[in-house]
Amino acid sequence: MGKLDDLRIHQLDRTLEPFEPLRHRPPPAIGWAKTIREALGISVRQMSRRAGLSRTSITSAEAGETKGTVQFETLRRLADALQCDLVYALVPRTSLAQTLRGQAERKAALLVGGVADSMELEAQGVEGAATQRQVKDLAEQLLRDRGRDFWDV
């Protein structure tokens, strides 16, 4: 990776870090919008008026939130009506740097493995430690270069 890429990945990892604990916290079974609406004591009729949506749209949106089918704009309108902010983020399961490294290692293992298999057939096999070293070296090169085909494996 170039220095600029390293910096961008590091900055993005740091930006996303505070969201990581939220990955393990499931939303309420009835969804956030309905949970907050009910906690505030706002009826569907009142919510309808506040959000500028029909009562059917409110109940559909609340049901859609639990199914993952609600539209963002509708959810934003519900949030506004509840005096809430809709916060959206994609939270990586591991750091972006670890994701890149893992991909480089997978790709290198496949590439080296293909060559090692071919050499084995020709009775020119390489011992395990040398193969591991080749995988590690190639992974480092792939990580630095990250060509267009980096994610093709």
Q: What digits encode the pLDDT tens for the residues 129-150?
A: 888 999 999 999 999 999 899 9
Q: Are 131 and 117 in contact (CB under 8 A)?
A: no
Q: What digits encode the pLDDT tens for the residues 37-53?
A: 999 999 999 999 999 99
**Which two three-digit tokens encode residue 86?**
């809709």
Q: Are 92 and 118 in contact (CB under 8 A)?
A: no
What is the C-alpha to C-alpha distance for residues 143 and 147, in angstroms, rounded to an integer?
A: 9
Closest to 73 (Cα-Cα) out of 101, 42, 55, 52? 52
**Percentage of the residues of the chain whose pLDDT score is greater than 90:** 78
Half-sphere exposure of 3 (CA within 13 A, CB side): 0
| Its pTM surpasses 0.95 | no
DSSP code for 104: H
